[in-house]
Structure formats: structure tokens, C-alpha cells
Amino acid sequence: MLRRILELLIKEFLQLKRDRSARFRLLVPPVIQMLLFGYAATFEVFNVSTAILDLDRSQESRALTAAFVHSARFRIARGAETQRDIRQAVEASEVQVGLVIPPGFSELLRKGESSPVQAIVDGTNSNTALIALGYVGQIASAFGQDYAQDLAHRTGRALGRPMVSVSLEERYWYNPNLNSRWFFVPGVIGTLTLITIVNLTAFAIVREREVGTLEQILVTPIRPVEFIIGKTLPFFLIGLLEVSIVASIGMLWFQVPFRGNVFVLLFGTSLFLLCALAIGLLISTLCTTQQQAFASNFFVLNPMFILSGFSFPIASMPQFLQWVTYADPLRYFLVIIRATFLKGVGLDVLWPQMLALAAIALSLLTIAVLRFRKSLD
């Protein structure tokens, strides 16, 4: 049995060696996608195009304007003289944020009262709008606190009424600078691995059936179970190699720290690869051509990506979809890879995710093997 599996394993690697395009697809696209996702995928927003209408024209309003001008989050795209200028700029998509400092802004501040500032935000891109509005609030709040402290020094203490305030000291664990790449890059590793391994497994077996070599192999003494092991084992090893490559890029190029145990990550990756192989094998039993396999992969992988929690919080999904996510192996692997990279935790914390992946892998492999044997009959 082992000899027949080894011969099939050698056959697969020899076929991969002869196929230059396959070698290219295995190495180059994942590296390119890793670099693209690492740079493009981020929750942070910089250089938000902004227009500021200063109707107060005071020292205080100019100081607030300067706070936005010197912030890396905002870029003053154009000036504004009237409310109509702001409206036209937002309608024409010239700016995403319009700020209006009303008359009397400085007068209210000097009296120690709150002074409103209007923020007009283009809400067509709701995610960017919410993030940009949050940055506006942070800058305005910081300006207000600084001005209140300065006013207290100039007036409050002289009158015997020192200002009392509560300060919030923030501590961000595991990602002190809230670098979104530290969140996205480990997730990209899991997503690229899933896509590559499912595609390889489904296409390789369907290709054997399509060109007629599957029947030729099965008339030999090799048994269906041996064929499945010999056909999927190379992709398991390729998956480990790909995870190593893209993880190295994440650590060395994007400076994502790895604080965990490499063997814990290896164990979790192995369980996840078994799930991916089973999904690819299941797709191969349902398809007879590579075009059908491609369409099926698209139908299966997209929902898995959306429901994994990679970029859309699972807690924000409807209750029914939250239950569906428990069948998604990518959901558990993202927890494992982010926890090992950033938190450095071990099996004592990650055993529920490991157990879930093992159960999904066992169930899917059992169904896939039974389906494959039935499809051969």
C-alpha cells in the first residue's frame, strides 16, 4: 500500500515539475496577492479630501483649522467661501468631508461654553465616512481639551476654581499602535491557503477524469483510498510550503510579529489543510469538467471568505448566519493564526478551535471519500 501511494506521490511531483505554468501558479500569484493585500487591505484612512469653511475667522478657528491641516488623516483639497461651495464640492466628489466653523465660535469658547462645528460627510462610502467622522471627532476633542486646559490656567486658577477632569489612559494589548496590517496579514495567509489548496485538489482530480487518465489509473492494482491519499498528499505538502512562504513575507516584509509556538501553528495549519483538501475532493466528485469545478469553487469559497470574520465581524451578522459560520473552517483558522502570531497563546487557549477543525476535517473527509468511491462506481 505504502509503495503504491509513494509511486503516485512521485508521479504528481514529476507532473508538477514538467508543468511550468502550474509551478508559476503555485508560487508567484500567492506572493503577489500577499503583497497587494498587505498594502491595500487596511481599516485605516489617510489623506481624506477635505474642505474647511471658516466663518468665524478668529485665532481659535485658525488653530482648529491648523489641527486638521497638520493631520495625516486629512488633506485640504480646496478652500470654501460659502456653504454652497461645501455642498458643490461634496456633490462633485471633490471632497469627502466638509467642515463649517460657524460665526461666534471663538466667543463661546472664551466664555467656557461648548461651541459647535458642523461636519458634512459624503456617506456614499459608509465605512470611510464613519472612520473619517471618528477622526474628526478625535481632532476636535483634542483641540477642545487643550483649549479648556489653557483657559483654566488663564482664568480658573486665578479665580480659585481649578479645573477638575478625568483623563483616560489607553492601553492596547498585542497591537500597541493599532496597525491594521497586523490584523489583515495573518488573515490573508489563511485565505490564500484555502483558495490555493481547494483549487489544486478539485482541478487536479477533475482533470484526470476529463482527459481519461483516471480510469487508466484505477485499472491498476491501486485502490480508490490509496489513490485519494496519493493524489491529495502532495497538495498537503504544497499547502505547508505556501503557508511558510507567505508567513515569511508577512514577518520579514510587513514586520508582523510572531510571538507563538511554531508547532502550535503547524498543528492548526495541518488540520485546516485537511479541511481544504476535503472541500476540494468533494467538489471534484460533483464536477466532470474543469469549467464546472471553477464555477463550484467560486460558489463555495466566496461565502466561506465572507462568513469567516476576515473583514466582516461575525457578531454583526444575523443570528442565522452566525450559526452557519460554525461550519466554516476558515473561521477557526483565522483565530488560530492571529492568536499565535500576535498573542503567543498555545493549545491551552486554542484547543476549542483545534477541536472544531478536527471535527470538520473528519466529517468532510469521510463524506468526500464516500462520495468519491460512489462517483467511481
Q: Give the total residue count for the chain.
A: 377
Residue 159: per-residue pLDDT: 41
- Residue found under cell 484612512: 45
Residue 243 to residue 27: CA distance in whole angstroms = 11
pLDDT tens-place string over residues 247-262: 999 899 988 999 999 9
Task: List the grid coordinates of 84.
Answer: 454652497
pLDDT exceeds 60 at position 96: yes
pLDDT exceeds 70 at position 377: no
Residue scoring higher pLDDT (215 or 66): 66
- In this prediction, residues 373-377 reach a mean pLDDT of 59
Lowest mean pLDDT among 2-16, 136-150, 152-166, 308-322: 152-166
Residue 100: per-residue pLDDT: 92
Residue 153 to residue 232: CA distance in whole angstroms = 73
CATH T-level fold of 48-156: abc type-2 transporter like fold (3.40.1710)
Residue 197: closest CA among 266, 277, 252, 125? 277
Lowest mean pLDDT among 45-54, 115-124, 228-237: 228-237
Helical residues (DSSP H) of the chain, grouped into ranges: 2-18, 20-40, 59-69, 83-91, 105-110, 126-151, 180-211, 213-218, 224-252, 262-286, 290-307, 319-324, 329-338, 347-376
Residue 27: per-residue pLDDT: 75
pLDDT tens-place string over residues 56-86: 999 999 999 999 999 888 999 888 888 889 9
Task: List the grid coordinates of 256.
Answer: 508582523
Residue 189: closest CA among 260, 101, 272, 108? 272
- In this prediction, residues 148-157 reach a mean pLDDT of 70
Q: Which DSSP string corresponds to 257-314?
A: ---S-HHHHHHHHHHHHHHHHHHHHHHHHH-SSHHHHHHHHHHHHHHHHHHTTSSS-G
Q: What single DSSP character describes residue 57?
A: -
Residue 73: closest CA among 131, 127, 147? 131
pLDDT exceeds 50 at position 368: yes
One-letter amino acid for residue 40 of the chain? A
pLDDT exceeds 70 at position 161: no
Share of the chain above pLDDT 90, in %: 32
276 burial (CB, 10 Å; 0-12 / 13-18 / 19+) is: buried
Residue 64 to residue 217: CA distance in whole angstroms = 75
Residue 158: per-residue pLDDT: 43
User: Please, what's the b/e burial string for 356-370 (b: 16 or more CB within 10 A of its CB; e: otherwise)?
Assistant: bbbebbeebbeebbe
Residue 373: per-residue pLDDT: 65
pLDDT exceeds 70 at position 165: no
Q: Residue 275's CB: how many other CB atoms inside 10 A?
A: 27
313 burial (CB, 10 Å; 0-12 / 13-18 / 19+) is: exposed
pLDDT exceeds 90 at position 52: yes
Residue scoring higher pLDDT (245 or 209): 245
pLDDT exceeds 70 at position 352: yes
pLDDT exceeds 60 at position 163: no
- In this prediction, residues 282-297 reach a mean pLDDT of 81
Judge if pTM exceeds 0.75.
Answer: yes
Residue scoring higher pLDDT (67 or 178): 67
- In this prediction, residues 312-341 reach a mean pLDDT of 92
pLDDT exceeds 50 at position 316: yes
pLDDT exceeds 90 at position 330: yes
Domain with CATH 3.40.1710.10 in the chain: 48-156
Residue 327 to residue 329: CA distance in whole angstroms = 6
Q: What is the residue-averaged pLDDT of the chain?
A: 83
pLDDT exceeds 60 at position 188: yes
Instruction: Using pLDDT thresholds of 50, 70 and 90, give the confidence band for residue 266.
Output: very high
Q: What single DSSP character describes residue 51?
A: E
Residue scoring higher pLDDT (159 or 36): 36
- Residue 104, sorted as left (phi over 0), alpha (psi -120 to 50) or beta, turns out to be left
Rounded to the nearest 10°, the torsion over CA 119, 122, 125, 128 is -30
Residue 169: per-residue pLDDT: 64
Residue 76: beta bridge partners? 50
- In this prediction, residues 291-314 reach a mean pLDDT of 86
Residue 195 to residue 294: CA distance in whole angstroms = 11
Residue scoring higher pLDDT (270 or 8): 270
